[in-house]
Structure 1
């Protein structure tokens, strides 16, 4: 199984590195600084106390997806359609595109652009790029993918590479579960630049997260999504499993990059407005991140 990773950031590099380390042919497609580093000495992959150098192909060009059986699509949500148009001419007709992005609507936005099989995936992993071609794993790593023809093969191949993967008939429920977690943590981690383990004990944080989660749950249920009854407990428990992780929004804000906040809290605000559901806690966090983006 040949794999291409479109978007060689922290998530794409981690999963691409795990697959390549298990012997799967992988091509990373990303920014020049990461591509140059990977081409020169391989991908540096840190997992706990272990450090691996993983050789693999890398390119800055969209045609790096050519010939791939599986494409891991992990670009920023704001770039979905534009990058989709870039890779579309180079995709095999029978390719399976696994959508590893934040948010709940990216697969639906990408599918008509590439006119190929695009499978929604809920990603549960804590990673960070700490240098060119250098990714650090902070915790977890499982994937929940929607149903697809290649599902069994993907589950087997990814499992053999140390990536726990399962197929769900209700991927939208899983994506909303992940979105609720992101809405609770991402903006607060970004605005404070704190990792989850230090963020959660601070005064008032649990209460703010509870307000955010309640709004998200109301919007999700009104949208026909099944939400776990203990979702708040799951959200608050995340800090114990990923104490050293800063959110992707925090990493983007610190690097002066555009964040994905419009596709996280911003999506809940838009859906809530359409459904007549107030979302003031999400609106405050969204506004504060947008202000921080503008001032940086």
Structure 2
């Protein structure tokens, strides 16, 4: 797949989609951002600014961006489609791709959870769909700030399934390192173990770095990972190493005293001090979260294997309660989770 004259559609220009699309466009790739009205308006007014932990601060002016609110225009000429919508919107996006994209377009799922690529394959029969994983957080600037800014708040390489020759070279650009992996199921489960913390950030309202620096919260994350690992082992699934540690070691490291954790887990703590999780952002905006595709995936596996997952179930219930209340993050303390578990 030669880079020249290839068009990349970003199917869901939210935080991850805008960041990836901007990096690709800045590297000279032809990119079309399929955006909702709020993002579409902001991009057309003032362009898109992308920053990262490495100190890059780059701006694409509005007249240099190709933005489409119309799915037909955004998808019809694409050679590669990067699906970056939330898990709950996967089926809708599959319908748009089926209706408007060329049959030979390569579809790559860059979404949370472990099942989205399989869902896309089911709804896009006969098309080439590849699984992918984005390891880093992207923080979006507050509403009203122009130009719209997407800040990559942590590090890591995007991992995608082996695909057509040249695909990695097309996508691997400055600020968006991309590589392939032979076992994407293991990669996605490895990422999901870390994503179990998204809910804790959402429930606490704390920035990710501050939350991870507090052992009381890390104990809850460690307990969730223990439950997930038990369900995975019973299913014969071995998750891949994502954060530099073997998955089996994650709960042990998370349970270390704060001072020792800061020494051992420097890579895990290499994150912007203001970064939070996308689930926190969903609660703040009154949107459905991805709890069903994160904790829900563990609960589904635990039910099939008959392994206990009481802590994961408790965390999921609290997030769903916050979703229904639509008051943003409930700002819970760790004891509100653990005490509720004991009383339940």
- Normalising by structure 2, we get a TM-score of 0.80
Q: Does 1:274 pair with 2:304?
A: yes
Q: Which residue of 1 aligns with 2:130?
A: 119
Contact 1:196-1:239 within 8 A present in 2 as well:
no
Query: C-alpha offsets along residues 117-171 of structure 1, whole Å, 9 cap, x if unaligned?
Result: 11110111110221464312212151111122x2x41221222444221111101
Q: Does 1:53 pair with 2:59?
A: yes
Q: Which runs of 5+ in 1 are unaligned?
A: none
User: 1:241 Cα deviation (Å)?
Assistant: 1.8
Q: Which runs of 5+ in 2 are unaligned?
A: 1-5, 255-264, 327-344
What is the rounded CA distance, in whole Å, between the counterparts of 1:220 and 1:59 in structure 2?
41
Q: Does 1:290 pair with 2:301?
A: no
Aligned CA RMSD, in angstroms, stands at 1.8
User: 1:203 Cα deviation (Å)?
Assistant: 4.5
Q: Which residue of 2 aligns with 1:242?
A: 271
Q: Which residue of 2 aligns with 1:145?
A: 160
Moved more, 5-14 or 219-228: 219-228
User: 1:239 Cα deviation (Å)?
Assistant: 4.1
Pick aligned residue for 1:213 from 221, 225, 246: 225
Q: Mark the CA change 1:234 to 1:26 in structure 2 (over 3 Å): closer, same or farther.
A: farther
User: 1:10 Cα deviation (Å)?
Assistant: 0.6
Query: C-alpha offsets along residues 82-110 of structure 1, whole Å, 9 cap, x if unaligned?
Result: 22112212111211111011000001011
Pick aligned residue for 1:70 from 67, 80, 85: 80
More strand by share: 1
Aligned length: 293
Q: Does 1:11 pair with 2:16?
A: yes
Contact 1:45-1:51 within 8 A present in 2 as well:
yes
Contact 1:198-1:243 within 8 A present in 2 as well:
no
Contact 1:269-1:283 within 8 A present in 2 as well:
yes
After the TM superposition, list the runs of 4 or more consecutive aligned residues in structure 1 that deviate by more than 4 angstroms.
Answer: 232-236
What is the rounded CA distance, in whole Å, between the counterparts of 1:114 and 1:215 in structure 2?
33
Contact 1:35-1:59 within 8 A present in 2 as well:
yes
What is the rounded CA distance, in whole Å, between the counterparts of 2:290 and 2:48 in structure 1?
25
Q: Does 1:179 pair with 2:192?
A: yes
Contact 1:41-1:53 within 8 A present in 2 as well:
no
Contact 1:25-1:56 within 8 A present in 2 as well:
no
The residue correspondences of 1:94-109 to structure 2 (distance < 5 A) are 94-109=104-119
Q: Does 1:80 pair with 2:86?
A: no
Moved more, 85-94 or 172-181: 85-94
